[in-house]
C-alpha cells in the first residue's frame, strides 16, 4: 500500500481484505491480476463467492446489490430457478453435441418471432463472433470491403470492431470526418483502411459520409444505445437516416443489439420502428452462459447455407451448444414485454433518483440512458455522443473511480465505468437502496471533490 494512497482507497481495502489477499495470487497467474479487461478495476476487484437474484456475496461476506449483471447479460439476475432447473436437467444429458437439439430450434423460433428484422439466424459463442459474422455476411452479399462504424461504438474484441472505440482527443480528427484510431498497439495498418468512422447522432453528417463512401461500403453497423461510451441513446432520426441512406446505396445495415435487445421484446428496433438488414445479439439470450447470435433477411442468411456451392464459412465449436440453449430458452421464455416495461420503469426511476441526488449535492453530474440501461457522467452538459462522454471522463479524473469504490462499500455494484442496469430480480426497494447509497457516498466524496475537482461543484 502506498504511503500516499487515497483515504477512500484505503477504506476499500479495509472493506475487502480477503479479496485483496486473493488479488496477490491472481497477479502470479494473470497479467495485471485479471483475465478480463472490462471487469478489472484498481486497486483490485472484489472476489465473488456466490450470488442469487440481484444480490452477490463476496469472499469477505459483504452483501452487494448487483447493478452490473455481468455487463447486462443477466436479465433475471443470478440463479433464476427456471434457468437453474434447465441447466441441471441438460447437463445430465450432455453439454454439447455438435448436432441440432430441440432447445436450439425453439430458442431460434422464439427470437425470430419477436425481433422484426429476423427471418433466420445463426447462434455463435459470443456477441463478438456475432458481429464478426454479420460483417462477413455483408461483405459476401455486396462484394465490397469496407464497413462504417460509429465513433465510440464497441462491437467486440477484434480490431475492426474496436477502431475508434475511444475518441482520443489527439488524432480523432474533425467531427464531420472522424479519423480511424487504434485503442492499443496491436492494430495492423490495414484495419484503418477498412473502416469509415461516423459521428454518432449526427444524421446530416452520416448521410454525407455514406454517400461519399457508398461505392466501397459493405455495411454500416450501429448500436441503438452507445454502450461502452456511456449508454448514449441514438435518436430515432439518426437511425432512420442510416436506414434510408443504406437502402439508397445498397449497403447492409447492421444493428448491434447485443446490449439493447433487453429494451423491448423485439429489441430497440421495435420502439424506433427501424428495421435493419441484420441484427446481432448476445448477453440475455444465453441465460447467463456464453452466447451470441446474428440474423436477418432470409436472402442474406442463406449465404451461410451448406447447400450452397461456396457458403460463407462459419464453424464454431460451442455455437448453439445444448447447455447454453437450455439456459437461454428458459430465460427468454419468462422474459415478457411486461418485464421489459417494468424494468425500463425501474431504470427511469434510478436515473430520476440519481439526478435528484446529484442536484441536491450541488454536483455537475448526471445519469443518462435508455430503459433499464444507464450510466453516470460527470458533467451537466448534454451527452450527445462519445466525444461528450470522453470530455466528461477527463473532467472527472479519479472521482469516477472513488465513486465506484464508495458505492461498493455501501453495497452497490456497477461497472467501474459507472454503468448500471436493472434486472427482473429487482424491485423499487433496490432502486431506493442505490439512491441512498449514492447520497451517502457523495457525502464522503465531497471534501475530495472540493480539493481535487472543484470545477465539478455547481455554484
Determine the average pLDDT of the residues in 87-116.
97
| β-bridge pairing 195-198 and 252-256 | unpaired
CB environment 424-444: b (16+ within 10 A), e (fewer): bbbeeebbebbbebbbbbbeb
Would you place residue 36 in the very low, low, confident or very high pLDDT band (cuts 50, 70, 90)?
confident
The count of residues in the chain is 459
With H, G, I as helix, E, B as strand and everything else as coil, classify residue 189: helix
Q: Tell me how far apart the terminal alpha carbons of the chain are, to the nearest angstrom.
A: 36
With H, G, I as helix, E, B as strand and everything else as coil, classify residue 145: coil
pLDDT of residue 20: 96
pLDDT of residue 1: 45
Please state at what angle helix 81-91 crosses helix 322-333, rounded to 10 degrees.
Answer: 160
User: Which residue out of 44, 154, 200, 335 is catalytically annotated?
Assistant: 154
With H, G, I as helix, E, B as strand and everything else as coil, classify residue 443: helix
**In this structure, are residues 106 and 86 in contact, taking their beta carbons and an 8 Å threshold?**
no
- 256 given a catalytic annotation: yes
Would you place residue 261 in the very low, low, confident or very high pLDDT band (cuts 50, 70, 90)?
very high
Please state at what angle helix 386-396 crosses helix 399-409, rounded to 10 degrees.
Answer: 80
pLDDT of residue 64 exceeding 70: yes
pLDDT of residue 360: 97
User: Which residue out of 66, 194, 283, 385 is catalytically annotated?
Assistant: 283
Would you place residue 37 in the very low, low, confident or very high pLDDT band (cuts 50, 70, 90)?
confident
| β-bridge pairing 55-58 and 63-66 | antiparallel
Q: Which long-range contacts (CB under 8 A, 24 or more apart) does 438-443 make?
A: 438/353, 438/354, 438/357, 438/407, 438/412, 439/357, 439/360, 439/361, 440/410, 441/403, 441/406, 441/407, 441/409, 441/410, 442/357, 442/358, 442/361, 442/363, 442/403, 443/361
pTM for this prediction = 0.97
Determine the average pLDDT of the residues in 77-81.
98
- 297 given a catalytic annotation: no
Model pLDDT for residues 165-201, shown as the tens digit of each residue? 999 999 899 999 999 999 999 999 999 999 999 999 9
Q: What are phi and psi of 323, to 5 degrees?
A: -70, -45
In three-state form (DSSP H/G/I as H, E/B as E, the rest C), the secondary structure along 87-111 is HHHHHCCCCCCCCCCHHHHHHHHHH
Distance CA 449, CA 457 (A): 8
- Give the DSSP H or E segment for 20: helix 17-29
Cβ-in-10-Å burial (0-12, 13-18, 19+) of 82 comes to: middle
Would you place residue 34 in the very low, low, confident or very high pLDDT band (cuts 50, 70, 90)?
confident
C-beta atoms surrounding 102 within 10 Å: 11
pLDDT of residue 55: 98
| β-bridge pairing 146-150 and 217-222 | parallel
* DSSP for residue 320: T
User: Which residue out of 256, 277, 385, 388 is catalytically annotated?
Assistant: 256
> How open is the CA angle 422-437-444, to the nearest 5 degrees?
140
Would you place residue 33 in the very low, low, confident or very high pLDDT band (cuts 50, 70, 90)?
confident
pLDDT of residue 147: 98
Q: Where does 12-159 show beta strands of DSSP type E? A: 48-52, 55-58, 63-66, 120-124, 146-150
With H, G, I as helix, E, B as strand and everything else as coil, classify residue 83: helix
**In this structure, are residues 443 and 383 in contact, taking their beta carbons and an 8 Å threshold?**
no
Would you place residue 3 in the very low, low, confident or very high pLDDT band (cuts 50, 70, 90)?
low
Distance CA 78, CA 60 (A): 19
Mean pLDDT, the chain, whole residue set: 96
Distance CA 183, CA 149 (A): 15
pLDDT of residue 185: 93
* Cell reading at 158: 477484434
pLDDT of residue 280 exceeding 50: yes
pLDDT of residue 4: 80
Domains detected in the chain: 7-78+336-456 (3.90.1150.10), 81-333 (3.40.640.10)
Residue 419: beta bridge partners? 375
* DSSP for residue 417: T
pLDDT of residue 2 exceeding 70: no
With H, G, I as helix, E, B as strand and everything else as coil, classify residue 380: coil
Share of the chain above pLDDT 70, in %: 99
| β-bridge pairing 232-233 and 63-66 | unpaired
Model pLDDT for residues 313-339, shown as the tens digit of each residue? 999 999 999 999 999 999 999 999 999
- 154 given a catalytic annotation: yes
Amino acid at each position: 500500500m502506498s504511503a500516499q494512497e487515497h483515504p477512500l482507497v484505503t477504506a476499500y481495502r479495509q472493506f475487502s481484505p480477503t479479496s485483496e489477499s486473493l488479488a496477490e495470487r491472481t497477479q502470479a497467474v494473470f497479467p495485471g491480476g485479471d483475465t478480463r479487461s472490462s471487469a478489472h478495476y484498481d486497486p483490485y476487484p472484489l472476489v465473488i463467492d456466490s450470488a442469487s437474484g440481484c444480490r452477490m456475496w463476496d469472499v469477505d461476506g459483504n452483501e452487494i446489490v448487483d447493478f452490473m449483471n455481468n455487463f447486462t447479460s443477466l436479465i433475471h439476475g443470478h440463479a433464476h430457478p427456471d434457468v437453474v432447473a434447465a441447466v441441471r436437467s441438460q447437463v445430465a444429458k450432455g453439454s454439447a453435441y455438435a448436432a441440432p437439439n430441440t432447445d436450439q430450434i425453439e430458442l431460434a423460433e422464439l427470437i425470430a418471432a419477436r425481433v422484426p428484422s429476423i427471418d433466420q439466424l445463426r447462434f455463435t459463442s459470443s456477441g463478438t463472433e456475432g458481429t464478426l459474422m454479420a460483417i462477413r455476411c455483408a461483405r459476401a452479399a455486396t462484394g465490397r470491403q469496407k464497413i462504417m462504424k460509429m465513433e465510440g461504438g464497441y462491437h467486440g474484441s477484434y480490431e475492426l470492431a474496436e477502431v475508434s472505440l475511444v475518441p482520443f482527443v489527439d488524432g480523432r480528427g474533425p467531427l464531420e470526418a472522424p479519423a480511424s484510431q487504434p485503442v492499443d498497439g496491436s492494430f495492423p495498418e490495414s484495419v484503418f483502411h477498412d473502416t469509415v468512422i461516423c459521428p454518432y447522432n449526427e444524421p446530416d453528417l452520416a448521410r454525407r459520409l455514406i454517400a461519399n463512401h457508398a461505392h466501397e461500403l459493405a455495411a454500416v453497423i450501429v448500436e441503438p444505445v452507445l454502450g461502452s461510451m456511456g449508454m448514449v441513446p441514438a435518436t430515432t432520426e439518426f437511425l432512420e437516416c442510416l436506414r434510408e441512406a443504406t437502402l439508397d446505396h445498397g449497403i447492409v445495415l447492421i444493428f448491434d443489439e447485443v446490449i439493447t435487445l433487453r429494451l423491448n421484446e423485439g429489441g430497440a428496433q421495435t420502439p424506433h420502428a427501424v428495421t435493419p438488414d441484420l441484427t446481432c445479439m448476445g448477453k440475455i439470450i444465453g441465460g447467463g452462459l456464453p452466447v451470441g447470435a446474428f440474423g436477418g433477411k432470409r436472402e442474406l442468411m442463406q449465404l451461410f447455407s451448406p447447400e450452397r456451392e461456396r457458403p460463407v464459412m462459419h464453424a464454431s465449436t460451442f455455437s448453439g451448444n445444448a447447455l447454453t440453449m437450455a439456459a437461454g430458452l428458459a430465460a427468454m421464455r419468462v422474459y415478457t414485454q411486461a418485464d421489459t416495461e417494468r424494468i425500463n420503469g425501474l431504470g427511469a426511476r434510478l436515473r430520476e433518483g440519481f439526478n435528484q441526488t446529484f442536484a441536491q449535492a450541488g454536483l455537475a453530474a448526471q445519469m443518462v440512458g435508455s430503459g433499464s440501461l444507464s450510466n453516470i457522467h460527470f458533467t451537466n452538459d448534454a451527452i450527445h455522443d462519445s466525444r461528450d462522454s470522453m470530455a466528461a471522463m477527463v473532467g472527472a479524473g479519479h472521482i469516477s473511480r472513488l465513486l465506484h469504490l464508495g458505492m461498493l462499500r455501501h453495497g452497490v455494484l456497477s461497472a467501474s465505468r459507472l454503468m448500471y442496469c436493472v434486472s427482473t430480480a429487482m424491485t423499487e426497494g433496490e432502486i431506493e437502496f442505490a439512491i441512498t447509497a449514492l447520497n451517502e457516498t457523495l457525502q464522503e466524496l465531497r471534501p475530495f471533490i472540493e480539493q481535487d475537482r472543484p470545477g465539478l461543484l455547481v455554484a
